[in-house]
Chain A
Amino acid sequence: MVLKALEISKSIMLSTCRLTQKALHFLCKSHISKHCGVGDSVLSAFRSICGEDGVSLGEAVREQHGKDESVHRCRPPDVVVFPRCVEEVSALAKVCHKHRLPIIPFGTGTGLEGGVGAMKGGVCFSLRNMEQVLDLHPEDFDVTVEPGVTRKTLNAYLRDTGLWFPVDPGADASLCGMAATSASGTNAVRYGTMRENVINLEVVLADGSVVHTAGKGRRPRKTSAGYNLTNLFVGSEGTLGIITKTTLRLYGIPEAMVSAVCSFPSVQAAVDSTVQTLQAGVPIARIEFLDDVMIDACNRFSSLSYPVTPTLFLEFHGSEQSLEEQVSVCVSTEDITQSNGGSDFQWARDTETRNRLWKARHDAWYAALALRPGCKAYSTDVCVPLSRLPQIIVETKEDLIENRLTGPIAGHVGDGNFHCLMVVDPNDPEEMHRVHLFTERLARRALAMDGTCTGEHGVGLGKRALLCEEMGPVGIQVMQSLKDALDPNNLMNPGKILQREEP
């Protein structure tokens, strides 16, 4: 009872006086050693590496670190550690390696595929205390950051330099976490995803050794030196190593930006317009699709009044002159859209109007949730070649309507990627089942169209079987061989990406 009452969290530990702390630890240790797979000697080793405050057994802290923003249930680790530098990460990993303890790296916990669940318990490495922006080279357009730095923090830091990091997933995620999941955002159509924008990584491997994937401190704009280790770890979702530094490619902040909204009579018309705009060679920066259900949700949530039909949100970046040019090639885009039955463009030039326009899109997740309060949301994430996009979205909408599912669609159609935000009652197993079957049909539809089951969210827990279908047995075997080479004891985030035959 006393132990339950003394729910130990990091902040309480910090401010409790020494004597009480020692007493708490004594009580805690004897309580915990009955429950978790992490013995006292290991905990002492952890404490001697990252300090008394750097190790937490508290239930609340462990639960916080056992879930992300997906629908997967919480799988708390046995203990959470908070290293402050790569040397501590390496030392902690060595201890885990010696005792065969699973290691789960944790950035901001904003993932969407259950990547941080500790399926077999173990040690969660929360990297939030490593939060420095290191080595900014504005003249070389690169910067190195630690895992605690999020994308918004970095862009605020860079604002006086005229540079920015354009990859912008919905959440304010850790940049190293974004590297781990190969994240992408609304700007990918012009600036690429993490795969194109990570120059170097510092990674701690399962045995504690530290590798620099492009060589220590190196940041050439391009290289052909040896195997591409950097992109091996990008997207590895913590299953091959813990990313402790990432060197990123920066871009000049666009001189000018102009956004526009265009409504269409049908999904086909909207998506056809997207494909034609890209084929016309317009270097568009953002082209986002919202279907009628999504626009309706956004109207209600953000008190807007867009027409409730399929809609495109577009944005152009460039110098004032190049914008004039893009927009007039875009009067040919306007031609394109008008010939598809699209409305006139509603333009937004100044910052405030543009921000209001995009806020509607960025709040899509919350707007979808607000459609059915009390429900949870699951986002699908398929991506197909552009030419197949109209067909897959139309077929998907028919599937949704036929199966009475709430699934507003929002997507980065410029990449052939779209999300159905499935709003589902977690207490209704029948509906959960229908949603599950729908998402599998959708993934297989995408695979049949030469696409992928996950454009940007990663495989995590829920898409391991689909990955096998997507890659085929030989591809999976190659992945498994790499995993076995780097992590023979399967300590790094077990249960993610690859399915393993349980003995």
Chain B
Amino acid sequence: MSGRVLVGVKRVIDYAVKIRVKPDNTGVVTDGVKHSMNPFCEIAVEEAVKLKEKKLIKEVVAVSCGPQQSQETIRTALAMGADRGIHVDVSGKDYENLGPLQVSKILAALAKQEDAQLILLGKQAIDDDCNQTGQMTAALLDWPQGTFASEVSLEGDKINLVREIDGGLEHIKINTPAVITADLRLNTPRYATLPNIMKAKKKKIVTVKPADLGVDVTSRLEVLKVEEPPQRQAGMKVETVEDLVVKLKEAGRV
């Protein structure tokens, strides 16, 4: 086994930012807005680095698909302890239309190229909430998948996994190589510290294009419109129960 883990990290608008829809309703405002690593991807990186610290795997490779700025996200992963990075360069219209299907094809191609034993991803991105990339990647590679992982432990060439599902916690055992997607309670990601940020600057990031991996990034989806949820309407206070009933009748509610 190569002992190599691929971790996917996505650059998204920072979770603390107030999102605004563009006036032309084609998307949200991204210019000048703070971006950072998707929180679930942070958890995935942390888990990979923990596995390396326990000497259960040998190398953590951080991967991000996007424009030049995605390299910052890879650098954060490197500062958290990843060994090297791969930046798959997708920009312009291709980037705007980039979705789970294309990313999973890219990750599958990279997994084969890098002889990865494990792919760790966040369960979903906080911008599109798709929750599809992990599952699609596993399907393309015909690998087992452990999604919504809240506990991961390696046992020989198998993985014991606890999944957070609607009914409770599900314990499964899967073979490697496998795809795991991280849920919130898997771990608490470490902060990048100054010395580690300095060290990360010396780690290598290689840039490739989707075409180099034989992947076509044309999207099969078209965004028609993006709009804000309806504004909250004003309430009204009434003095008596009788008034309330009258108003409810007027509004056709009773």
A161: chain B residues at CB < 8 Å are 192, 197
User: Does the CB pair A6–B237 fall under 8 Å?
Assistant: yes
The one of A15, A252, A355 that contacts B194, using a Cβ cutoff of 8 Å = A252
User: Does the CB pair A12–B193 fall under 8 Å?
Assistant: no
A164 to B196, CA, bound (A): 15
A161 to B191, CA, bound (A): 9
Distance between A104 CB and nearest chain B CB, rounded to angstroms: 27
A352 to B189, CA, bound (A): 10
The one of B76, B188, B236 that contacts A352, using a Cβ cutoff of 8 Å = B188
Q: Which of B56-64, B97-105, B139-147, B227-235 contacts A (4 or more CB under 8 A)?
A: B227-235
A157 to B14, CA, bound (A): 9
User: Does the CB pair A162–B231 fall under 8 Å?
Assistant: no
- For A27-43 the 0/1 string (1 means CB < 8 A from B) is 00000000000000000
A162: chain B residues at CB < 8 Å are 79, 191-194, 196-197
User: Does the CB pair B37–A160 fall under 8 Å?
Assistant: yes
The one of A16, A153, A157, A355 that contacts B234, using a Cβ cutoff of 8 Å = A16
User: Does the CB pair B233–A5 fall under 8 Å?
Assistant: no
Considering only CB atoms, which chain B residue lies closest to A152 in the complex? Answer: B16
Known: A156-B16, A253-B194. A5 touches B237 (CB 8 A): yes
User: Does the CB pair A253–B193 fall under 8 Å?
Assistant: yes
A355 to B187, CA, bound (A): 12
B236: chain A residues at CB < 8 Å are 5-6
- For B121-152 the 0/1 string (1 means CB < 8 A from A) is 00000000000000000000000000000000
Q: Is A255 in contact with chain B by the CB < 8 A criterion?
A: yes
Known: A15-B231, A352-B188. A157 touches B239 (CB 8 A): no
Q: Is B36 in contact with chain A by the CB < 8 A criterion?
A: yes
Considering only CB atoms, which chain B residue lies closest to A352 in the complex? Answer: B188
User: Does the CB pair B195–A255 fall under 8 Å?
Assistant: yes
Q: Is B34 in contact with chain A by the CB < 8 A criterion?
A: yes
- A residues 134-160 touching B (CB-CB < 8 Å): 153, 156-157, 159-160
Q: Is A1 in contact with chain B by the CB < 8 A criterion?
A: yes
User: Does the CB pair B234–A160 fall under 8 Å?
Assistant: no
Distance between B33 CB and nearest chain A CB, rounded to angstroms: 12
Distance between B42 CB and nearest chain A CB, rounded to angstroms: 9
Q: Is A351 in contact with chain B by the CB < 8 A criterion?
A: yes
User: Does the CB pair B193–A15 fall under 8 Å?
Assistant: no
- For A1-13 the 0/1 string (1 means CB < 8 A from B) is 1001111000110
A330: chain B residues at CB < 8 Å are none
A164 to B190, CA, bound (A): 13
- For B70-90 the 0/1 string (1 means CB < 8 A from A) is 000000100100000000000
Q: Is A163 in contact with chain B by the CB < 8 A criterion?
A: yes
A319: chain B residues at CB < 8 Å are 195
Taking chain B's interface residues, is the majority helix, strand, or loop, or is none over half, making it mixed? loop
A163: chain B residues at CB < 8 Å are 194
Q: Is A170 in contact with chain B by the CB < 8 A criterion?
A: no
Known: A12-B234, A15-B233. A157 touches B194 (CB 8 A): no
A418 to B34, CA, bound (A): 39
Q: Is B238 in contact with chain A by the CB < 8 A criterion?
A: yes
Distance between B20 CB and nearest chain A CB, rounded to angstroms: 14
A488: chain B residues at CB < 8 Å are none
Considering only CB atoms, which chain B residue lies closest to A7 in the complex? Answer: B237
A5 to B243, CA, bound (A): 12
Considering only CB atoms, which chain B residue lies closest to A14 in the complex? Answer: B231
- B residues 193-208 touching A (CB-CB < 8 Å): 193-197
- For A156-176 the 0/1 string (1 means CB < 8 A from B) is 110111111000000000000
Distance between B232 CB and nearest chain A CB, rounded to angstroms: 6
- For A459-496 the 0/1 string (1 means CB < 8 A from B) is 00000000000000000000000000000000000000
Distance between A235 CB and nearest chain B CB, rounded to angstroms: 29
Considering only CB atoms, which chain B residue lies closest to A350 in the complex? Answer: B188
Considering only CB atoms, which chain B residue lies closest to A133 in the complex? Answer: B34
User: Does the CB pair A5–B16 fall under 8 Å?
Assistant: no
Considering only CB atoms, which chain A residue lies closest to B188 in the complex? Answer: A351
Known: A157-B16, A157-B34, A162-B197. A5 touches B238 (CB 8 A): yes
B188: chain A residues at CB < 8 Å are 351-352, 355
A252 to B193, CA, bound (A): 7
B16: chain A residues at CB < 8 Å are 153, 156-157
The one of A4, A5, A7, A159 that contacts B191, using a Cβ cutoff of 8 Å = A159
A352: chain B residues at CB < 8 Å are 187-188
Distance between B110 CB and nearest chain A CB, rounded to angstroms: 24
User: Does the CB pair B232–A11 fall under 8 Å?
Assistant: yes
Name the residue among B192, B195, B234, B236 with the largest chain A CB count within 10 angstroms. B234
B190: chain A residues at CB < 8 Å are 351
B37: chain A residues at CB < 8 Å are 160
Distance between B103 CB and nearest chain A CB, rounded to angstroms: 22
Distance between A88 CB and nearest chain B CB, rounded to angstroms: 20
Q: Is A254 in contact with chain B by the CB < 8 A criterion?
A: yes
User: Does the CB pair B195–A5 fall under 8 Å?
Assistant: no
Distance between B225 CB and nearest chain A CB, rounded to angstroms: 23
Considering only CB atoms, which chain A residue lies closest to B75 in the complex? Answer: A160
B187: chain A residues at CB < 8 Å are 352
A12: chain B residues at CB < 8 Å are 234-235
A355: chain B residues at CB < 8 Å are 188
B196: chain A residues at CB < 8 Å are 162, 255
- For B217-254 the 0/1 string (1 means CB < 8 A from A) is 00000000000000111111111000000000000000
Given contact pairs A252-B193, A253-B192, A255-B196, enumerate 5 new A-B contacts (beta carbons under 8 Å). Answer: A12-B234, A15-B234, A160-B37, A164-B191, A255-B193
Q: 20 A-B residue contacts at CB 8 Å? A: A5-B238, A11-B232, A157-B14, A157-B16, A159-B36, A159-B192, A160-B37, A160-B192, A162-B79, A162-B192, A162-B193, A162-B194, A162-B196, A162-B197, A163-B194, A252-B193, A252-B194, A254-B193, A319-B195, A351-B188
What 5 A-B pairs come out closest when comparing CB atoms? Answer: A162-B194, A252-B194, A351-B188, A5-B237, A12-B234
A residues near B (Cβ < 8 Å) are 1, 4-7, 11-12, 15-16, 153, 156-157, 159-164, 252-255, 319, 351-352, 355
B residues near A (Cβ < 8 Å) are 14, 16, 34, 36-37, 76, 79, 187-188, 190-197, 231-239
